């Protein structure tokens, strides 16, 4: 069909029309603007290319700046905690690793537990860290757990039913620390505590691991020491 010297594609739907003018195809999109089909295809290719480039940049950034343990402020300590838990039999293990701002490990603790959920296991790990910090009079200490929901609950002074009693203990212990904090690490930010808890749960961790670390723990420690 020809209208006003412009060829109209009769097979076009109502929402989108293809028009031909001077031998070039134009398309009317939903914004009521006329565009040449070649330009639209070029834009699509550009968007795909940009997405690919963005993914490559992000991948390179991850390799160049890997997320690892974050040191506390100078003159502060950080207690990273974690728990390993087997739901089918309710057994697990907790780990506490206390390091200074340079990444040097000052104290390590691990122990087996009997619990009903991973949340309770993580709560027990936090409580154990606070008991150690209070008993040894460690001032200026950050407690770090990868259980974000639990950290938010403690900070907001609310509770989780299944861990009610343990969270109450945590709140009391927090009040006894003049300078303290509760934080949540990014991914891979608590690798050491995770490795210790996992090994303790599987009973492959010897009792002197903190003074004579096995190879895996030594490797993590070397990577996290700040010079």
**Nearest in space to 191 (alpha carbons), one of 154, 216, 226:** 216
* Bridge partner residues of 98 (DSSP): 79, 107
Tell me how far apart the alpha carbons of residues 225 and 7 are, in angstroms, rounded to a whole number: 72
Tell me how far apart the alpha carbons of residues 81 and 190 are, in angstroms, rounded to a whole number: 8
Tell me how far apart the alpha carbons of residues 22 and 28 are, in angstroms, rounded to a whole number: 16
Structure tokens at 112: 């087996």
pLDDT tens digit string along 116-141? 999 999 999 999 999 999 999 998 99
Tell whether the model's pLDDT for residue 18 goes beyond 50. Answer: no
pLDDT tens digit string along 56-65? 544 554 454 4
**Residues belonging to the chain:** 227
- Quote the percentage of the chain above a pLDDT of 90: 59
pLDDT tens digit string along 35-55? 445 555 555 555 555 556 555
Tell me how far apart the alpha carbons of residues 212 and 218 are, in angstroms, rounded to a whole number: 9
The overall pTM is greater than 0.95:
no
- Quote the percentage of the chain above a pLDDT of 70: 69
φ, ψ dihedrals at 102, nearest 5°: -95, 0
Tell me how far apart the alpha carbons of residues 137 and 157 are, in angstroms, rounded to a whole number: 24
Query: Strand 34-36 relative to strand 105-114: parallel, antiparallel, unpaired?
Result: unpaired
In CATH terms, the fold of domain 77-224 is: Nucleotidyltransferase; domain 5 (3.30.420)
What's the half-sphere exposure (Cβ side, CA atoms, 13 Å) at 123?
25
**Nearest in space to 70 (alpha carbons), one of 216, 191, 152, 198:** 191
Residue 78's pLDDT band, with cuts at 50, 70 and 90, is very high
Query: Strand 105-114 relative to strand 77-86: parallel, antiparallel, unpaired?
Result: unpaired
Task: Please state the domain extents for the chain.
Answer: 2-64, 77-224
Residues 6 or more apart whose Cβ sits within 8 Å of residue 72 = 78, 100, 101, 140, 141, 142
Residues 6 or more apart whose Cβ sits within 8 Å of residue 150 = 119, 122, 123, 126, 160, 163
């Amino acid at each position: 069909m020809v209208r006003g010297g412009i060829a109209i594609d009769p097979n076009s739907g109502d929402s989108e029309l293809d028009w031909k003018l001077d031998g070039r195809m134009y398309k009317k999109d939903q914004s009521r603007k006329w565009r040449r089909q070649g330009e639209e295809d070029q834009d699509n290719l550009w968007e795909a290319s940009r997405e690919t480039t963005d993914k490559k940049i992000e991948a390179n950034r991850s390799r160049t700046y890997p997320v690892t343990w974050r040191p506390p402020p100078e003159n502060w300590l950080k207690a990273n905690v974690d728990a390993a838990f087997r739901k089918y039999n309710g057994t697990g293990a907790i780990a506490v690793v206390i390091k200074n701002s340079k990444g040097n490990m000052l104290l390590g603790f691990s122990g087996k537990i009997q619990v009903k959920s991973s949340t309770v296991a993580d709560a027990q790990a936090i409580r154990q860290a606070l008991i150690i910090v209070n008993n040894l009079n460690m001032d200026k200490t950050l407690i770090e757990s990868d259980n974000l929901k639990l950290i938010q609950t403690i900070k907001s002074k609310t509770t989780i039913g299944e861990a009610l009693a343990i969270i109450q203990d945590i709140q009391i212990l927090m009040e006894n620390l003049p300078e303290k904090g509760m934080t949540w690490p990014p991914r891979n930010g608590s690798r050491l505590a995770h490795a210790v808890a996992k090994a303790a749960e599987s009973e492959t961790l010897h009792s002197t691991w903190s003074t004579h670390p096995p190879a895996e723990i030594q490797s993590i420690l070397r990577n996290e020491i700040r010079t």
